[in-house]
Structure 1
Amino acid sequence: MRNSGATIGRRPAEPGELDLGMHELRAVAGYAAACARTALALFERERPDDERPRAAIDAAQAFADGAARSKVLRDAAWAAQRAAQEARDAGLAAASDAARAALAAAGAAFLHPLAKATQVKHILGAAAHAARAFELAEGDDPAIGASHIAQARALAPPVVVDVLRRYPAAPSGGGRAGALLRELDAALRR
């Protein structure tokens, strides 16, 4: 990888690939970490001894602050995914989505410069899962999710919005978290 501002990878972008600088990738990861951190207390309230989601968010923030995109970051993402599954299996839906937000934050560092709609999940997945976690914590109230999507929209720095606009619109599917992702995607593209 090259220094800040350089295109990710070792070769020039090919057709279907985007020109994505390391500084942009770090900004996306920082945004995702900030979005996921808003819901972390929902997870920790239910599973106070499980530090995996916090570690994933911290790893994403460390990458945003200049750390290498390494196995540590990938391992933290997988650990947050296991925490989400375990919370779900325990019937803790809000905690599960909060952990999925942490997973998405760590995964944001692995945004690919491929012009595919699925890549939007790397940019906005943490915000969508955090909003869904808050909805679930408040009795599955869609107004709560909409409020958190509005907060995530306000939190997005211009560089993240610019990166998002280079990708196709968010894909269909993904249940309620997918709907929240599409809502945020549409709002940021306006």
Structure 2
Amino acid sequence: MRYHIISDNNFFLLGASALLTESLGLRAVVYTSYIWSEKIDFYKILKQKRSNKIILYVNNIAFRRKILNAVAVKGGSVLILSSRKTYKKNFKDIIMDGTISANAAIVVIPSKTCVNSFVHYAKNFTLNGRYHKPSHVELDVIKKLCHGDNISALSERLGKPCKAIYGIKNTVLERTSGVTGVHGLLLCRDIFGV
């Protein structure tokens, strides 16, 4: 199995690569890429280091979006580590898997997960999991909220009550990433490419 760890945190890169190499042994090849500038060609990085599993821990939202766009073109599985403070209090194991294209899959877990859980997710996340594909209306609501529309204007435009729009938004956020607030909307935007 080939892993590619991409991060803007060099300490995470060193620790995660050592952990995977130690726990998986000779069965795994681990590549690392340190992201420090927006001028980096993510398509070229993914092409050079051919891997079928990408572990992504990036604090910069713009970097994350560019990397996920490159993965959508190339294909593969992505394990995103996201800030734990943005998760709901009742976080279970994996909240939900999402897809950004037919040949790419995404799993989101908290960044402050224990070592054993991290290794478990790194070994077991694949394209063959269960995936939530949002409906056209759900994608439309997420897209418009990400572009700055407010709930009341959106409810008037779609002819639905505000409570229904809140319900759609919360359902998509819960199924996709389990992340709340603006961070959750931006993560859904990146995952579904809207």
Task: Provide the TM-score with structure 2 as the length reference.
Answer: 0.29
Larger RCO, structure (CA 8 Å, separation 6 or more) = 1
Bigger radius of gyration, 1 or 2? 2
Higher helix share: 1
Higher strand share: 2
Task: Provide the TM-score with structure 1 as the length reference.
Answer: 0.30
